[in-house]
A and B are shown apart, each in its own frame.
Chain A
Amino acid sequence: MATRKARTAFAIKRFKKLVKEISQSKRGTLGVTIIAFFVLLAIFAPVIAPYDPINPWKDPGQYPAYDSPPGPKLAEKLCVPSWYEYIPWVHKGSIELKESFISYVVVIDGQKFPNVTNLYLTQRIAKAQKIEAFFPNGSSRELVPVEEWMHNPADLRRVTLDWQTAENLPDSTRVEVTYLTGTDITKTMEVVTDYKFSSSETFYSKWQNKTSHPELFNIKHNSQEGFESGGCIEITYSGSEYNASASEVNTTVFVPFGYAHWAPPKSFATHFSARIETTTKTNVTVTLWLRDEALGKSFLLSTYPITSKGTYFHYKAVSTGNETKGNIGEYPERIIFPRPANMSFALSVNFPNKENDVTVYIDNVQCILYGNSFGLLGTDNGSPFPPRDIFSTLVYGTRVSLVVGILSALFSTVIGLFLGLISGYVGGTVDETVMRFADLLLVLPTLPLFIVLIAVMKSTYGLVSMWNIIILLTFFGWMGFSRTVRSMVLSIRERPFIEAAKAAGGGKFYIITKHMIPNVFPLVYVTLATSVPGAIVTEASLSWLGLGDPSIPSWGKVLYDFNVSGIAVTKGLIEYWFWIFPPCLAIAILATAFILLGFALDEILNPRLRQRR
Chain B
Amino acid sequence: MGLRGYLARRVVYSIILILAVITVNFLIFSMLPGDPMAQFVAGMRGHIDEERYAQLRKHFGLDRPLHERYLSTLGNMLIFNFGNDIISGEPVFDAMRTPMLNTILLMGSAEIISITLGILIGVIAAYKRGGILDTTLVTSSLVTYSVPIFFVGWIVILVFAVQLHWFPSGLTSPPGWVRNPPVNVLEYIVGRLRYIVLPAFTLFLFTVGGWILFTRACILETINEDYVLTARAKGLKERTVLYKHVLKNASLPIITNVALAAAFLISGAIITETLFSYNGMGLLTWHAIYPTPNLPILQAVFYLTALLVIIANFIADLLYGVIDPRVRYG
* A, B assembled together: yes
Given contacts A541-B271, A544-B271, contact A443 B310 (CB under 8 A): yes
Q: Which residue of the partner chain, among B36, B143, B149, contacts A592 with CB atoms under 8 Å?
A: B143
Residue contact B146 to A444, C-beta cutoff 8 Å:
no
Residue contact A608 to B271, C-beta cutoff 8 Å:
no
Report the minimum CB–CB distance from B306 to chain A (whole Å): 4
The CA-CA distance from A445 to B151 in the complex, in Å, is: 22
A595 within 8 A of B: yes
A584 within 8 A of B: yes
A545 within 8 A of B: yes
Which residue of B has the minimal Cβ distance to A612? B224
Residue contact A573 to B305, C-beta cutoff 8 Å:
no
Report the minimum CB–CB distance from B31 to chain A (whole Å): 11
Residue contact B21 to A443, C-beta cutoff 8 Å:
yes
A587 within 8 A of B: yes
Residue contact A445 to B301, C-beta cutoff 8 Å:
yes
Report the minimum CB–CB distance from A251 to chain B (whole Å): 58
Report the minimum CB–CB distance from B154 to chain A (whole Å): 6
A459 within 8 A of B: yes
Q: Which residue of the partner chain, among B28, B142, B162, contacts A596 with CB atoms under 8 Å?
A: B142
A451 within 8 A of B: yes
Q: Which residue of the partner chain, among A460, A572, A592, contacts B34 with CB atoms under 8 Å?
A: A460
The CA-CA distance from A588 to B149 in the complex, in Å, is: 10
Report the minimum CB–CB distance from A74 to chain B (whole Å): 27
B-contact 0/1 string along A591-606, CB 8 Å cutoff: 1101110010000000
Residue contact B17 to A439, C-beta cutoff 8 Å:
yes
Residue contact A541 to B220, C-beta cutoff 8 Å:
no
Residue contact A436 to B17, C-beta cutoff 8 Å:
yes
Which residue of A has the minimal Cβ distance to B266? A445
**Chain A contacts with B in 425-450, Cβ cutoff 8 A:** 436, 439-440, 442-445, 447-449
Q: Which residue of the partner chain, among A440, A445, A457, A459, contacts B305 with CB atoms under 8 Å?
A: A445
The CA-CA distance from A574 to B161 in the complex, in Å, is: 13
The CA-CA distance from A117 to B267 in the complex, in Å, is: 67
A97 within 8 A of B: no
Residues on the A chain within 8 Å of B36, using CB: 452, 455-456, 459
Contact residues of B: prevailing secondary structure: helix
Residue contact B309 to A443, C-beta cutoff 8 Å:
yes
Which residue of A has the minimal Cβ distance to B298? A452
The CA-CA distance from A443 to B28 in the complex, in Å, is: 15
Residue contact A588 to B147, C-beta cutoff 8 Å:
yes
A27 within 8 A of B: yes
Residue contact B220 to A595, C-beta cutoff 8 Å:
no
Residue contact A456 to B274, C-beta cutoff 8 Å:
no
Q: Which residue of the partner chain, among B17, B142, B221, B301, contacts A595 with CB atoms under 8 Å?
A: B142
The CA-CA distance from A402 to B51 in the complex, in Å, is: 52
Residues on the B chain within 8 Å of A460, using CB: 33-34
Residues on the B chain within 8 Å of A585, using CB: 151
Given contacts A445-B302, A608-B221, contact A440 B157 (CB under 8 A): no
B39 within 8 A of A: yes
A-contact 0/1 string along B127-166, CB 8 Å cutoff: 0011000000011001101111111001001100010000
The CA-CA distance from A468 to B146 in the complex, in Å, is: 23
**Chain A contacts with B in 551-603, Cβ cutoff 8 A:** 559, 572-574, 580, 584-585, 587-588, 591-592, 594-596, 599
Which residue of B has the minimal Cβ distance to A544? B150
Q: Which residue of the partner chain, among A455, A595, A611, contacts B289 with CB atoms under 8 Å?
A: A455
The CA-CA distance from A611 to B224 in the complex, in Å, is: 10
How many A-B pairs fall under 8 Å by CB?
A: 131
A22 within 8 A of B: no
Given contacts A445-B302, A445-B305, A544-B150, contact A573 B158 (CB under 8 A): yes
The CA-CA distance from A461 to B32 in the complex, in Å, is: 12
Report the minimum CB–CB distance from A88 to chain B (whole Å): 23
Chain A residues with a Cβ closer than 8 Å to the other chain, count: 46
Given contacts A443-B21, A459-B39, A573-B157, contact A448 B146 (CB under 8 A): no
B-contact 0/1 string along A182-203, CB 8 Å cutoff: 0000000000000000000000
Residues on the A chain within 8 Å of B149, using CB: 541
Residues on the A chain within 8 Å of B13, using CB: 436
A102 within 8 A of B: no
A244 within 8 A of B: no
Given contacts A436-B17, A574-B162, contact A452 B289 (CB under 8 A): yes
A609 within 8 A of B: yes
**Chain B contacts with A in 278-330, Cβ cutoff 8 A:** 285-286, 289-290, 293, 298, 301-302, 305-306, 309-310, 313
Residue contact B302 to A573, C-beta cutoff 8 Å:
no
Report the minimum CB–CB distance from B265 to chain A (whole Å): 10
A48 within 8 A of B: no
Residue contact B24 to A591, C-beta cutoff 8 Å:
no
Q: Which residue of the partner chain, among A449, A457, A540, A608, contacts B148 with CB atoms under 8 Å?
A: A540
Residue contact A448 to B148, C-beta cutoff 8 Å:
no
Given contacts A456-B34, A608-B224, A609-B220, contact A451 B158 (CB under 8 A): no
Residues on the A chain within 8 Å of B151, using CB: 584-585, 587-588
Which residue of A has the minimal Cβ distance to B151? A584
B112 within 8 A of A: no
Which residue of B has the minimal Cβ distance to A439? B17
B71 within 8 A of A: no
Q: Which residue of the partner chain, among A445, A451, A591, contacts B286 with CB atoms under 8 Å?
A: A451
A121 within 8 A of B: no
Given contacts A445-B302, A448-B270, A580-B154, contact A545 B286 (CB under 8 A): yes
**Chain B contacts with A in 252-280, Cβ cutoff 8 A:** 264, 267, 270-271, 274
A453 within 8 A of B: yes
With contacts A451-B289, A612-B224 known, what are 10 further pairs, Cβ within 8 A?
A443-B306, A443-B313, A452-B36, A457-B34, A460-B34, A545-B270, A559-B150, A587-B147, A587-B148, A608-B220
Sample of 23 A–B contacts (CB below 8 Å) = A443-B306, A445-B302, A447-B270, A448-B270, A448-B302, A455-B289, A459-B39, A461-B34, A533-B146, A537-B146, A541-B149, A544-B148, A545-B270, A545-B271, A546-B290, A584-B147, A584-B148, A584-B151, A584-B154, A588-B146, A591-B148, A596-B142, A599-B142
